[in-house]
């Protein structure tokens, strides 16, 4: 018997939902899938040809690695932020192959085995795996919903320990769609700055804002009070997850930033994971991505309006969202989320995600992707309504 590390639970059991999906697939049944969040699968006019042309324009495929990423590619990322009124110097930018890689680099940068990272709940379900893969403990802190999602600062503060090495903020958060509010930003920077705990701010959905005025300026880019790392990437900003390019923007006191960048450079130099073609076409891909983004923004609004209108006057409701790609639907607690999702699947042929998948702390919620093809989204919502009227 070979010995594997114990940093992860390798034998994740199949739950009743994944078993029901597998059975339907075996029977060749087509699902109304409201969970697809891959832009290459949901856009009819996906710019395959434009991407091909951008790649064809690259004349020089020489391998000239730069551990932080090619300067021209980092400058293109800087220009992307400048167009949004945010000043970012190429020297503050580190390119990575994905946001997941960005997390793993920062966990390596700050943590020894057994150290702790504070993560929001509910949120992106990958944190526990990403932390576990670095032998780091993901310690949850609560977001609370009271018509709007906010950080529970008492809970956050109570989770800080001697082992805390960073706090993760996701803004807008997946799936709650909540942005870090301006007053939360100040409080967070002060709380963490005093304790020298760096902030990791996942801002991959920042372009998808449904409520711009209230949350303007909530990026941690440019914050000076505390060492902060903001994430972005082609995956969401350009709708191009297949290109495998993301970035980290480092902000904070100048000498601390320099020290963090030089350490990150040592780490990225061991991997050099971002491909040359994507770096050479970063500027063009971001330009093409601007249009993808606009199409997605429009779709998100259309689907969100459809969901709200359809569920109006039913026992379900859509929670308020400020941005991102997801909508959370509250369904009556007459049965558990697992039962809701299984009944939707078996009786209505509709696939949604249960709230517990995102660590929602109470029941019962289901989560849908707002970038779903509208006709499919509409069919799915009508069927959710049918089930809601039966309960
Ligand atoms: C909050 C959040 N961060 C990051 C990602 C993934 O980004 P990437 O494709 O760059 O790894 C996701 C994917 O859905 C996400 O929800």
pLDDT per residue over 21-34, tens digit each?
888 889 988 899 99
CA torsion through residues 98, 102, 108, 109, sign = positive
Same domain, 250 and 299: no
Same domain, 140 and 169: yes
Query: Using CA atoms, how far apart are residues 124 and 184, in angstroms rounded to an integer?
Result: 20
Domain contains 3: no
Same domain, 277 and 346: no
From ligand 1's centre to the CA of 247, what distance in Å? 12
Which of 235, 238, 358, 368 most suits a substitution to test ligand 1, by most atoms within 8 Å of the C-beta? 235
Same domain, 279 and 133: yes
The pLDDT assigned to 19 comes to: 87
Residue 152 sits in a domain of what CATH number?
A: 3.40.640.10
The pLDDT assigned to 217 comes to: 60
Same domain, 153 and 252: yes
265-278 exposure pattern, b = at least 16 Cβ within 10 A, e = fewer? eeebeeeeebebeb
From ligand 1's centre to the CA of 3, what distance in Å? 31
Same domain, 245 and 354: no
Residues in contact with ligand 1 by the CB-under-6-Å rule are: 37, 98-100, 124, 170, 174, 202, 204, 233, 235, 241, 246
| 168: containing domain | 48-287
Same domain, 86 and 205: yes
Conformation bin of residue 343: beta by default, left when phi > 0, alpha when psi is -120 to 50: alpha
From ligand 1's centre to the CA of 166, what distance in Å? 18
Q: How many CB atoms lie within 10 A of CB 92?
A: 24
Phi, psi of 36 (to 5 degrees): -75, 125
The pLDDT assigned to 215 comes to: 67
Query: Using CA atoms, how far apart are residues 247 and 80, in angstroms rounded to an integer?
Result: 12
Domain contains 62: yes
The pLDDT assigned to 12 comes to: 76
The pLDDT assigned to 67 comes to: 98
Which of 169, 206, 236, 237 most suits a substitution to test ligand 1, by most atoms within 8 Å of the C-beta? 236
Which residues, given as ranges, of the chain have pLDDT below 70?
213-217
From ligand 1's centre to the CA of 169, what distance in Å? 13
Which residue's C-alpha comes closest to atom 9 of ligand 1?
A: 235
Provide the β-strand partners of residue 169.
201
- Tens-place pLDDT, residues 189-218: 999 999 999 999 999 999 999 987 666 668
From ligand 1's centre to the CA of 204, what distance in Å? 7
Q: Is 33 helix (H, G, I), strand (E, B) or coil?
A: strand
Helix, strand and coil in the chain, % to nearest 5: 45, 15, 40
| Domain count for the chain | 2
């Amino acid at each position: 018997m070979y010995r594997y590390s114990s940093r992860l639970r390798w034998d994740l059991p199949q739950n009743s939902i994944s078993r029901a999906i597998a059975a339907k697939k075996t029977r060749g049944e087509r699902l109304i899938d409201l969970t697809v969040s891959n832009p290459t699968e949901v856009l009819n006019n996906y710019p395959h040809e434009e991407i091909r042309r951008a790649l064809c324009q690259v004349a020089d495929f020489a391998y000239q690695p730069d551990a932080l990423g090619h300067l021209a590619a980092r400058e293109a990322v800087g220009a992307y932020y400048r167009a949004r009124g945010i000043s970012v110097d190429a020297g503050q930018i580190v390119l990575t192959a994905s946001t997941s890689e960005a997390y793993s680099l920062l966990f390596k940068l700050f943590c020894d085995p057994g150290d702790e990272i504070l993560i929001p709940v509910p949120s992106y379900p990958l944190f526990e795996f990403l932390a576990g893969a670095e032998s780091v403990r993901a310690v949850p802190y609560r977001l609370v919903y009271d018509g709007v999602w906010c950080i529970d600062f008492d809970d956050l503060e109570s989770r800080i320990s001697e082992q805390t090495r960073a706090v993760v903020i996701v803004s807008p958060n997946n799936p709650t769609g909540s942005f870090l509010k301006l007053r939360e930003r100040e409080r967070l920077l002060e709380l963490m700055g005093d304790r020298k705990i760096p902030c990791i701010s996942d801002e991959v959905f920042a372009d998808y804002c449904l409520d711009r005025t209230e949350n303007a300026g909530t990026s941690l880019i440019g914050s000076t009070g505390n060492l902060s790392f903001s994430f972005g990437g082609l995956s969401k900003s350009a709708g191009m997850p297949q290109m495998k390019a993301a970035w980290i923007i480092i902000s904070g006191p100048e000498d601390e930033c320099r020290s963090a960048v030089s350490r990150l450079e040592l780490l990225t130099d061991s991997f050099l994971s971002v491909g040359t073609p994507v770096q050479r076409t970063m500027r063009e891909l971001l330009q093409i991505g601007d249009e993808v983004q606009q199409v997605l923004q429009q779709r998100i609004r259309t689907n969100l309006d459809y969901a709200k209108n359809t569920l109006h006057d039913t026992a379900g409701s859509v929670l308020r969202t400020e941005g991102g790609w997801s909508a959370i639907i509250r369904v009556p607690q007459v049965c558990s989320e697992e039962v809701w999702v299984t009944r939707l699947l078996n009786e209505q042929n509709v696939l949604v995600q249960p709230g517990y998948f995102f660590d929602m702390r109470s029941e019962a919620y289901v989560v849908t992707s707002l970038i779903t093809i509208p006709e499919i989204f509409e069919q799915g919502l009508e069927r959710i309504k049918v089930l809601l009227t039966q309960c």
